[in-house]
Amino acid sequence: MIHFVLGGAKSGKSRFAENQVMLYPAPWIYLATARCMDHEMQEKIAVHQKRRGQGWQTIEESINLADIINTNNVHSILVDCLTLWLTNLLMDNRNIKEETDKFLSALTTFHGNIIIVSNEVGQGIVPDNALARKFINEAGILHQKMAAIAHKFTMVVAGCPLNIKI
């Protein structure tokens, strides 16, 4: 079962997704896409780890999400988050279509529960620089593909989950 969770920054989407994963039997894998490059990110990661507590195995992977999903034989995975992963792909000059196609294929063949978290970035103004526009365009395309393959799709606003697709 694929559950796509989308929301703005600090909307409560990660906490909601963690609670959803914990409805399934442990162990749970937390597939973290963030690259820890500054003190603020270290603090954010520490808060997330403390909140999760026992029963979680954390795997840090900033690029090859499909490989991790394809090689794990667990019941439940939480991927947090797609927009950081997309940023990593852009910064590393990776082929976005190829990488997202591999990822989407891995999701559709996974035989467990997988919850995917991402940031909604398309509701603001159009940025004035090419890289930011490319990021928003790629995120929008990826989010549409995620919504299409997801069995469930939840938007989280101010800590309140809104079921878009049940």
- Convert the pLDDT of each residue in 102-151 to its tens digit: 999 999 999 999 999 999 998 888 889 999 999 999 999 999 999 999 99
Q: Is the peptide bond before 127 cis (omega within 30 degrees of 0)?
A: no
Q: Tell me: is residue 11 an annotated ligand-binding position.
A: yes
Q: What is the CATH number of the domain that holds 60?
A: 3.40.50.300
147 is in an annotated binding site: no
127/156: higher pLDDT: 156
Which residue is catalytic, options 3, 39, 48, 151? Answer: 48
Q: Which residue has the tokens 């963690």?
A: 18
Other C-beta atoms lying within 10 Å of the C-beta of residue 64: 15
On whether 100 is known to bind a ligand per the annotation, the reply is no
Alpha helix stretches (DSSP H) within 22-156 = 39-52, 65-71, 82-91, 96-109, 130-149
Other residues' Cβ atoms within 10 Å of the Cβ of residue 67: 13
Is residue 111 among the annotated active site residues?
Answer: no
pLDDT tens, position by position, 83-116: 999 999 999 999 999 999 999 999 999 999 999 9
Q: Is 9 annotated as a binding residue?
A: yes
Domain extent at residue 102: 2-165
- How many domains are contained in the chain? 1
Question: Is 12 annotated in some ligand binding site?
Answer: yes
For CA atoms 4, 8, 11, 14, give the dihedral sign. Answer: positive
Q: What is the dihedral of CA 132, 136, 137, 142, to 10 degrees?
A: 140
d(Cα 61, Cα 46) in Å, to the nearest integer?
17
Mean pLDDT of the chain: 93
